[in-house]
């Protein structure tokens, strides 16, 4: 029996949604990762505070369209599928290269249990170098599926360059993966005064293997056409092995209840970014998202303060252990302090928490002051549920502002390109007009790489049928 899968789909593509074809799936070729390769990769994992959390290991492959199975969905539409398997994997995601998708082509990755579909990915989601990193699907086996017009089959091309085997429970419903019990869900009362800032924060994966946190950040022009995103330099975004186009951004990943089970959804995601700037001394990396987050994600662009005055109180918002979004609260002034991260001295704000802590995976999460302005990004520290009185250190934005004379080593050239001289800026809700600028609520575009919940999917289907009536 065929079963419709949940997916994030462009409205015009709903009728082309992939269907779990249980009858013919056994006929689809299956590629299995060698257990010895996975084990060798896992043995090289080195967990260390002040480093991005590694949740998966990569196994090189070189699989092309010749490896899978082609069939016809109808007289005009061709379908290609390939099963990918890795014993005991908790999740799978892919690195694709040499991707060329003709205008009609749509690509999906989904688990064989039909729980999660990631896509559709189209040529708009492919980097200028022909690369794509997919979002993750749960379990030890996934299906890569391509739909396109039969007349365009010869124009399609892709290579599966690497399959990432997830060995940590970082997807929803993996209850053993919840971060320390002293962490505070953002839906708890502690988050009530910070709802806008919470919407700016995303969990990110880098190269399909590493986890960090970061946030959208406003710029002085407030035009929202340049979606800048800031995280920690030690998260390695933009390095040769972890390029910026490998980043997948997961929005609104949070629990439904305060102190509840880890039931957040990772369907609201998007793939790809471009490196803009970084600096190791202030431990920041700035990237630009490949596409503006769609309106239904309801994101927020964080404001900032680069004046250098010590924050008196505030919060940090982050994804400890890569799990649902948490909030930590401080009610005493931070102090300027230096800390060594990965052998590099970082000029940081030292913070002690009144409530909550941070963990690996929280790296890059923002520090907000009493005025709801971003003043730093998490570099490291020793706070934990076992050591709640420990200190955490946040690379200082006032240092990052003009850290280096060249644009690729500072924030100012990008967040204040007109040299206005501003040292503080309020956050920006894309749906709310700024005097003299108007509302940009319609500027978002819906993009591949996610999964709508069932309600949203049915709503869109009903809307389409109503339009035809």
Catalytic residue numbers read 234, 283, 363
Calpha distance 115→251 (Å, rounded)? 19
Omega before residue 261 within 30° of 0, cis: no
Calpha distance 54→209 (Å, rounded)? 6
Burial of 401 (0-12, 13-18, 19+ CB in 10 A): buried
Question: For strand 284-289 and strand 106-111, is the pairing parallel, antiparallel, or unpaired?
Answer: unpaired
Contacts of residues 333-340 at CB distance under 8 Å and 24 or more positions apart, as own/partner, are 334/310, 334/367, 334/375, 334/394, 335/310, 336/310, 336/396, 337/393, 339/379, 339/380, 339/381, 339/393
- CB burial string 109-146: b at 16+ within 10 A, e below: bbbbebbbbbbbbbbebbbeebbbbbbbbbbbbbbbbb
What is the DSSP track for 127-184? Answer: -TTS-EEPPPEESSEEEEEEEEEGGGGGG-EEEEEEEEEE-S--STT-GGG---TT--
Calpha distance 366→295 (Å, rounded)? 23
CA angle, 351 as apex, 346 and 356 as ends, to 5°? Answer: 125
Q: How far is CA 182 from CA 172, 234, 280, 318, 366, in A?
A: 19, 25, 30, 14, 19
Given CA atoms 419, 421, 426, 427 in this order, what sign does their dihedral have?
positive
Calpha distance 66→142 (Å, rounded)? 18
Supply φ then ψ for residue 322, to 5 degrees: 75, 10
Calpha distance 332→355 (Å, rounded)? 12
Tell which residue, 190, 215, 287, has the closest CA to residue 246. 287
Are 266 and 257 a contacting pair, CB within 8 Å?
no
Measured distance between the N- and C-terminal CA atoms of the chain, rounded to whole angstroms: 29
Calpha distance 82→228 (Å, rounded)? 35
């Amino acid at each position: 029996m065929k079963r419709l899968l949940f997916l994030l789909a462009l409205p015009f593509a709903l009728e082309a949604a992939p269907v779990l074809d249980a009858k013919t799936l056994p006929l689809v070729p299956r590629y299995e990762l060698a257990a010895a390769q996975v084990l060798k990769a896992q043995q090289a994992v080195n967990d260390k505070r002040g480093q991005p959390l590694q949740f998966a290991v990569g196994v090189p492959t070189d699989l092309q369209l010749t490896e899978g199975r082609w069939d016809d969905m109808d007289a005009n539409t061709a379908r290609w599928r390939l099963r990918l398997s890795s014993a005991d994997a908790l999740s799978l995601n892919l690195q694709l290269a040499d991707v060329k998708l003709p205008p009609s082509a749509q690509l999906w990755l989904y688990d064989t249990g039909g729980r999660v579909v990631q896509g559709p990915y189209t040529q708009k989601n492919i980097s200028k170098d022909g690369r794509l990193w997919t979002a993750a699907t749960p379990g030890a086996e996934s299906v890569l599926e391509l739909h396109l017009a039969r007349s365009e089959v010869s124009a399609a091309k892709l290579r599966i360059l690497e399959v990432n085997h997830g060995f940590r429970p970082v997807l929803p419903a993996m209850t053993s993966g919840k971060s320390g019990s002293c962490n505070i869900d953002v839906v708890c009362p502690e988050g009530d005064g910070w709802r806008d800032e919470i919407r700016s924060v995303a969990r990110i994966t880098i190269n399909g293997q590493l986890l960090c946190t970061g946030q959208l950040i406003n710029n002085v022009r407030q035009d929202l056409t340049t979606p800048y995103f800031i995280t920690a330099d030690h998260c390695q975004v933009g390095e040769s092995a972890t390029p910026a186009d490998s980043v997948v951004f997961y929005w609104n990943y949070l629990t439904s209840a305060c102190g509840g089970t880890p039931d957040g959804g990772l369907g609201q995601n998007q793939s790809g970014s471009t490196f803009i700037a970084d600096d190791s001394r202030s431990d920041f990396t700035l990237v630009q998202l490949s596409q503006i987050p769609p309106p239904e994600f309801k994101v927020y662009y964080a404001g900032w303060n680069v004046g250098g005055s010590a924050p008196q109180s505030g919060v940090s918002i982050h994804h400890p252990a890569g799990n649902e979004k948490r909030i930590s609260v401080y009610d005493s002034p931070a102090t300027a302090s230096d800390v060594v991260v990965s052998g590099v001295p970082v000029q940081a704000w030292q913070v002690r928490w009144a409530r909550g802590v941070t963990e690996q995976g929280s790296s890059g999460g923002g520090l907000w002051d009493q005025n709801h302005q971003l003043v730093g990004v998490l570099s490291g520290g020793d706070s934990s549920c076992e050591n709640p009185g420990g200190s955490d250190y946040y690379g200082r934005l006032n240092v990052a502002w003009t850290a280096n004379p060249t644009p690729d080593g500072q924030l100012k050239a990008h967040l204040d390109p007109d040299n206005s001289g501003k040292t503080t800026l309020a956050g920006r809700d894309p749906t709310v007009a700024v005097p003299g600028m108007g509302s940009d609520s319609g500027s978002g575009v819906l993009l591949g790489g996610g999964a709508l919940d069932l309600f949203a999917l049915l709503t869109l289907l009903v809307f389409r049928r109503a339009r035809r009536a």
